[in-house]
A and B are shown apart, each in its own frame.
Chain A
Amino acid sequence: MLHLSIVVPVYSGESFLRDLLIAVENLRNSWIACDAPIQLTELIFVDDNAIDNSAVIIDEIATEHDWVVALHLSRNFGQHPATIAGILHSSGDWVVTLDEDLQHSPGNIVDMMRSLASDPADIVYGKAKQSVHENGFRDISSRISKRFIEMLSGNKDIAKASSFRLIRGVVARAAASVCAHDTYYDVALTWFTQRINVVEISMKDTRFISSGKSGYNLSALFSHARRLLFSNQIRPLRLVGLFGVFAVVLAVASALWFVGVKLIDPEAIEAQGWVSLFVLTSFLGGATLFMIGIVLEYMSGLVLHAHGKPLFFTIDRSSDLKIRAYFSEDSR
């Protein structure tokens, strides 16, 4: 039998947690009733120093249900670190991460499983079919920033990322174990697999729509974008080196041009010493940048090592046959 773990980071979910539990329990019971080859064996709530009564509620739920785990972080660390903490306490063959506020319906986990049946993968992201926040500016800016990061980082899978994930357990935990302070979890996941599906599902951020309040302010969003970019590590470093090379080439080309002009038409350049000063400054500046680029290239190796990007990662996908057989049946 395969095991599914669900991880839910909690920050201000007191209005939603009981309903979320009911939805998860319904899924769990339905799989038990159908004798599914995968069972929902644990639900892990991670209290990220919640600002409301969520911590008490998750403790109550954990006392009432032995398959529910309540984890309390010592202070607020953020959604990604809380998710990582929960994943590192999980033991499922598959792990689902979802938000506390029922924006992600546990019932959609079945759709994500079905996508595995038709298109085997290690990660399935749940993506909104329509506008999540019912706020054009918010939704468009989210899409634009993801595309920008994708372009800058060269990581095409970044645009697929969302906090509603179904991840193969070994991949989830391996990626979680290598994450450092500034590592974006979804970037870390791409170090271990390229088999990523996306499933379109209905999603609404009812909390934002009703209250206009989001869990994220502008600075938090910028922080997200910064971590997303720098988790892709070495591209920004290489850009500096490339700029240095460009500056050196520009310096040499300029030198040839201005020397040529001086030889052919000495009167064209009136200022004495300007050519030599320009050539020297641009050449030395470019050379300095180029040498910095070489140093950064060496540093990028250290960065990769520090960030825990693996040289290789072995995987066993033999258990997928059971999932494919069960979830590909029309009756389900």
Chain B
Amino acid sequence: MLVLHSSARSDSVEQSHVAAIFGAGLVGQSIASHLSARSSALQTHLPFDWKQNSSTAEQLNIVERSLLKLVREQRSNTKRISIVWSAGAAGFSAPQDVLDNEFVLFERVVGLCEALRLRDPELELDFHLLSSAGGIFEGQRHVDVATMPNPLRPYATTKLLQEDRVNALGHDVKTFIYRPSTIYGYHKGGRPGLIITLIRNGYQNRTTKIFGSPDTMRDFVHVADIGRYIGNRIISTSSEGGTFLLARGKPTSMRSVISLVEDVIGKRLYLQYDPKPSNSEHNTYRPSATRHMTNSISLRYGIKLSALQWFQNEFGQAVG
């Protein structure tokens, strides 16, 4: 997990702010990068082994003490802790037992928030949950703020349960629930999504198996946009909590994505389509519901950026 600590002065008020990001994957790293850039926050890694279920409670106790120590180090008028849950080893098609294990961990992190409140009633606390619009609105088109989720998989049901749990935290904790559509981007060591897989296999002349159909539509949003949006909400002291749809309002078919990747890397892709795709439902969002996502990265530019990052990591050299 990542911990970022910053102190800031706003309206004659000194604020000591600690953000604890549970889940240092694609989205967690992006949030941390934005926080570091925008707020000059100091970044620390706290060891937190998800696999050691038996020692999770003990690890969380250590985290709780560390966070309180960090936030109290500075002489400041206000102390604020933001807890971010961007973890999720379980993917879209994860079975129920894997999701149940993850929910147990999630519950403990929410419990950490409640424990912090008990320890220091004057702490300003906010909880940021990375949910999944792609999961809870699977198969739905023209999704907007009024659309009701219709979960089709255990993954989506679990996400909704997480949202309910966060909403039940109480009025003294500000809660932010983010529902991103289809996130893409490069993260070293992480689970590669469709676009990174296409880029990698394209450069390596390998075949990519597509589990959707060529005409399946998604709303792709670059992880930097997610990191920027969530990061800004974490930094801001005046943001109101709520549920936020993070999408671009621009549907794109698999076919278009493939064509863009071929264009960017300058090579034809070798593809294999699943004749019985299990993930071929369209998922699109109304532009009217995504107006708050301003200046989002275009898909073409996002693919170029991802290809550059993959290439730099793979070959360790700058590309012109």
Contacts and interface: CB of A to CB of B under 8 A. Distances in A.
Contact of B256 (A62, A177, A314): A177
A90 interface: yes
A67 B142 contact: yes
A287 interface: no
B255 interface: yes
Interface string B239-282: 00000000001110101100100000000000000000000001
B14 interface: no
Interface stretch (B129-137, B167-175, B192-200, B283-291): B283-291
Contacts of A41: 141-142
Contact of A91 (B213, B256, B282): B282
Contact of A177 (B142, B144, B255, B286): B255
A89 B251 contact: yes
Interface residues of A, number: 20
A69 interface: yes
Query: Secondary structure of the B side of the interface?
Result: loop
B251 A177 contact: no
Interface string B281-306: 01010111100000000000000000
Contacts of A314: 214
Interface in A240-273: none
A66 B144 CA distance: 9
A89 B215 CA distance: 13
B217 interface: yes
Contact of A3 (B142, B255, B259): B142
A275 interface: no
B255 A66 contact: no
Contacts of A66: 144, 286, 288-289
Interface in A76-107: 88-91
B241 to A, nearest CB: 23
Interface of A: 3, 41-42, 62, 66-67, 69, 88-91, 169-170, 173-174, 177-178, 308, 314, 316
4 nearest interchain CB pairs? A91-B284, A170-B215, A66-B288, A91-B251
30 contacts: A3-B141, A3-B142, A41-B141, A42-B142, A62-B287, A62-B288, A66-B289, A67-B142, A67-B286, A69-B288, A88-B256, A91-B141, A91-B142, A91-B217, A91-B282, A169-B215, A170-B215, A173-B253, A173-B255, A173-B256, A174-B215, A174-B253, A174-B255, A177-B253, A177-B255, A177-B256, A177-B259, A178-B259, A314-B214, A316-B213
